[in-house]
Amino acid sequence: MKSNTKKLDWVDGIKAFAIVAILLNHFVESFGEGPWFSSPSRNWPDFSVRMSTLFPTGANIGVQIIKFLGWLGDMGPGVFILLSGLTLTISALNKPLKPIGFYTKRLLRIYPLYITIHIIVLIVAKYWFKWDIHFFSGATLLSLAGLRFTDSLFYFLNPSWWFIWVIIQMYILFPFLLIFLKKNGVKQFLILTFLVTVSSRLIGIMGLFYHGNLFNWMTGIFGGTRLFEFTFGMYLGYLLFNNNLSFSKLLDSKLKLFLISLGIYVAGFICSWTYTGSLFSMMLISTGLSGLFYSLYKFCFRKNNAIQNSWIWIGRNSFSVFLLHQPFMEYVSPLLKGTTKAVALIAIILLSFIAGYIIEKVVGSIIKFVESNKQRISNFFNSRLYHIFILLMLTLAMAISFGVMLGFSKYNNLLKLLLFVLVACIALYRIIKKFDTSLFISRFFDAVLFISAVLFLITENWLSTYWCLILIASVFLFITYKFKYIVSVGITLILLVGGIYVTENYLRKNAPVEVLKWGEFPALQIDPETIFSLKPNKTTHLKYNNYDYYVKTNSMGFSSEEINLSEKADNEKRILIIGDAFSMPEGLDYESSYPYLLEQQLRRKYPNFKIKVINGGVTGYGPNEEYAQLKKYINIIKPDIVVNQFFVNEYDDINISKMTRQTSIGFFVDHSIMKRFFGNDQTPVHLNTFARHKLGIVNNSYNYNRCLLFFYEKDAHYYDDTVINKISNYFDNATKLCSENNARFIVMYVPGQIEVSKPKDIAHYPYSENLKDTTEYDFKRPQEIINNLCTIKRIGYINTTPYLRDYSDQPVYFPESWHWNITGHKAITEYLSNYFITNNLLK
């Protein structure tokens, strides 16, 4: 091969056109949605609709043209993909390609700048934009590494960064692609990569192996969909390197190249209108657009002058601007309108060039400093001082981990930061210095690196066990020290992971506790009308915390036997119970619940009536769900009486949105890979509880929250006028609905355990609080508010507090939780039965 390559300034000129097109696209789409052409999506409207919106509408033709050009700018990244293949090939053909050296050089080319800008955007988004971003979440760490292989990650934090993931995939393939090109020739190389690209795009359209966002797939979530754009660039680089005469003549004939490129681009643009055409559209568009930009560069810049140099400068700094600008535009866009918004967005673009240039220069200077001081840096990483630093960080991390286990969870973020530092420091040490693997410190550092890195990929509750994992690993390493490195470290990690796996599975089966999901989750389903409900016709064994019981539902999803409601006899009386876990009931089988016992009691009291008590109680239900349930079933059930079991936490539940409720239950937990596999981890919770118990540590915060004391604070926000009005409206709506269906509406207030039980009967009693301090707490306010509302609205009101408090057989609540035990359900049955008889409600 002949190698007489000169500096190709036109490459930077093409990049300048491409970045300007991309920036124009982001500018235009800040004022409205983009077009329907380009990469297809599964929610494409009919072809006629897509064609009717092909060109933007509006009164000003100038604005329409700018908007249309901005839409076309969405195709600009393909030019960068093609140019990447071109420049890499020219560079690689100049000397023998060593894959490891190539990967190292490429990583140093993109990662330092990308990571620096990523961190800057993270900090700005967290503290200025106030976005819900977590520095050490799995998504953030994967994004930091450029790994955007899922729909949720693809546009995470900064949509432009999808390009990094695509280009990483191309870099990984490049050495193998180049070998294939050199060994098999251009024809086979282009045919094979063309077929791979078309097949990959066809797989997405047909949904054969991928069922996620089609637009993401076609854009590059799988690099195969953009492969030919990269390999065609490699082909062009191959021609340039070998001074191909035909290609050189084409480049010199600017007009001819322009017309050919325009034809290719138009063909690609037309193909982008349909699913079939989109199999080929991006490769045609990127090729044609690159040729058009080359022609425009040659037409516009014929002399080496200041304007040309400025344009080339834009191209050379395109990468930093591409990485930096979009989050700032997204933040400003919804805050401003009209001309002010346009000026602000243009200012952001201009400042991005300046800031990007400065950041890239600083990063470049640091890299040069590192390269020129490799030996000094290597010596530092091998010094005792560096070892001591790592050990100090590790000691501090273990101490904080132990503190988290004892209840100081507020230090979770600090511990994550320390683990991040440990991973970075040990990884650098491992990369820069090839240390003696026979040394214990070497093996120990590798184990620490593995444990620290893995904890980034699992839930936060494992952070409390970090110190345990390190100590156990140290013991295993010490015992196996005489073995070879791979055996010692391998046995240590296998025993550690295996032990965790066995322990975790045992605890999940035999002693599960609620983590991330409600314990009742297996029995629940999303309901479009009532937000969530019990799964119908199912018997579910629920075992969690201190509970071990079965929930058996009928065809309506109610916790009871099947009930025939088709015909209502003249002597039939129906009582509908709506409420939450107290009624379902939580912790007990249905035969022990007050709805079942009440039905039996009333049948004995009124033998001439056919009495049915229908239990609509569902764990976690609040006023929003209860009214929706009542509205859905009242015409079917035709109750004579509706008893609304009202717990103290309804003052909070009435403000909970549908999405928040469903998320808290755990319906969307499995959408995250981390939470799907590690979201229900039991081992850390049990270890934390065991450690605190053995050390005699009382978790005052846990006891406070477990007793729901925040509902009884004097200044509690739960009783603001807004909340009371919502409760009042709920009562009005429920009363009206019942009245329209000839039913009597009754409210039964259920007190919190702390209102009724003695300290000895509450496992989590808050001894740290002075509950007799009337300036801090008011235990009568929740029931008095309901009493007043019911009195004003003439709603039947049952306050169970005095009866439960004075009941002869105590306790009436489970000591470990706030729900009624068997005794409590018997007490409520007696009280309700007497209430019905005394008030002659079943006349």
Q: Do 209 and 323 belong together in one domain?
A: yes
Kindly report, residue by residue over 578-624, the tens digit of the pLDDT.
999 999 999 999 999 999 999 999 999 999 999 999 999 999 999 99
pTM above 0.75, yes or no: no
Q: Which of 348, 368, 388 is the endpoint of a domain? A: 368
Q: Are 264 and 287 in contact (CB under 8 A)?
A: yes
Kindly report, residue by residue over 720-738, the tens digit of the pLDDT.
999 999 999 999 999 999 9
Looking at per-residue pLDDT, the higher value among 809 and 412 belongs to 809
Helix axes 338-372 and 318-332, enclosed angle (nearest 10): 140
555: exposed, middle or buried (Cβ count in 10 Å: 0-12, 13-18, 19+)? exposed
Count CB neighbours of 528 within 10 A: 8
Residues in the chain: 843
Q: Do 288 and 390 belong together in one domain?
A: no
C-alpha span between 653 and 656 (Å, rounded): 5
Q: Does residue 373 belong to any structural domain of this protein?
A: no
Kindly report, residue by residue over 765-790, the tens digit of the pLDDT.
999 999 999 999 999 999 999 999 99
Q: Do 148 and 173 belong together in one domain?
A: yes
Q: Does residue 4 belong to any structural domain of this protein?
A: no
C-alpha span between 231 and 229 (Å, rounded): 6
Q: Does residue 483 belong to any structural domain of this protein?
A: yes
Q: Name the residue among 129, 108, 20 with its Cα closest to residue 352.
A: 20
Q: Are 557 and 705 in contact (CB under 8 A)?
A: no
pLDDT at 23 exceeding the cut of 50: yes
Q: Do 300 and 440 belong together in one domain?
A: no
Amino acid 45: pLDDT: 83
Q: Do 529 and 473 belong together in one domain?
A: no
pLDDT at 249 exceeding the cut of 60: yes
Q: Are 535 and 515 in contact (CB under 8 A)?
A: no
Residue 520 CB partners (closer than 8 Å, separation 6+): 542, 551, 581, 586, 619, 620
Q: Name the residue among 489, 378, 375 with its Cα closest to residue 430.
A: 378
Categorize the per-residue pLDDT at 566 as very low, low, confident or very high, splitting at 50, 70 and 90. Answer: confident
Q: Do 394 and 533 belong together in one domain?
A: no
- Which residue bears the tokens 């993109």? 110
Give the percent of the chain with pLDDT over 90.
71
Looking at per-residue pLDDT, the higher value among 821 and 371 belongs to 821
Q: Name the residue among 315, 347, 356, 354 with its Cα closest to residue 329.
A: 347
Which whole number is the average pLDDT over 660-667? 90
If one counts the domains in the chain, the total is 3
Domain with 533 in it: what CATH number? Answer: 3.40.50.1110
Q: Do 106 and 187 belong together in one domain?
A: yes
Helix axes 721-740 and 781-793, enclosed angle (nearest 10): 40
Q: Do 345 and 488 belong together in one domain?
A: no
pLDDT at 271 exceeding the cut of 90: yes
Kindly report, residue by residue over 59-107, the tens digit of the pLDDT.
688 888 888 898 899 999 999 999 999 999 999 998 888 888 898 888 8
Q: Three-state SS for 813?
A: strand
Q: Which of 345, 368, 391 is the endpoint of a domain? A: 368
Categorize the per-residue pLDDT at 450 as very low, low, confident or very high, splitting at 50, 70 and 90. Answer: very high
- Helix (H) or strand (E) segment spanning residue 163: helix 162-206
C-alpha span between 555 and 538 (Å, rounded): 9
What secondary structure letter does DSSP report for 557? S
C-alpha span between 289 and 69 (Å, rounded): 13
Residue 273 CB partners (closer than 8 Å, separation 6+): 37, 47, 50, 51, 54
Kindly report, residue by residue over 97-135, the tens digit of the pLDDT.
888 889 888 888 899 999 999 999 999 999 999 898 888
Kindly report, residue by residue over 184-239, the tens digit of the pLDDT.
999 999 999 999 999 999 999 998 888 888 999 999 999 999 999 999 999 999 99
Helix axes 374-381 and 338-372, enclosed angle (nearest 10): 80
Q: Does residue 3 belong to any structural domain of this protein?
A: no
Q: Does residue 182 belong to any structural domain of this protein?
A: yes
Q: Does residue 515 belong to any structural domain of this protein?
A: no
Q: Three-state SS for 574?
A: strand
Q: Do 494 and 360 belong together in one domain?
A: no
Categorize the per-residue pLDDT at 1 as very low, low, confident or very high, splitting at 50, 70 and 90. Answer: very low
Q: Which of 483, 510, 537 is the endpoint of a domain? A: 510
Q: Do 575 and 651 belong together in one domain?
A: yes
Kindly report, residue by residue over 639-649, the tens digit of the pLDDT.
999 999 999 99
DSSP-derived pairing of the beta strands 796-799 and 641-647: unpaired
Mean pLDDT computed over every residue of the chain: 91
pLDDT at 5 exceeding the cut of 60: no
Q: Does residue 516 belong to any structural domain of this protein?
A: no
Categorize the per-residue pLDDT at 670 as very low, low, confident or very high, splitting at 50, 70 and 90. Answer: low
pLDDT at 671 exceeding the cut of 60: no
pLDDT at 257 exceeding the cut of 90: yes
Residue 758 CB partners (closer than 8 Å, separation 6+): 810, 811
Q: Do 501 and 537 belong together in one domain?
A: no
* Residue 431, domain extent: 379-510
C-alpha span between 72 and 66 (Å, rounded): 10
Q: Do 552 and 668 belong together in one domain?
A: yes
Q: Does residue 321 belong to any structural domain of this protein?
A: yes
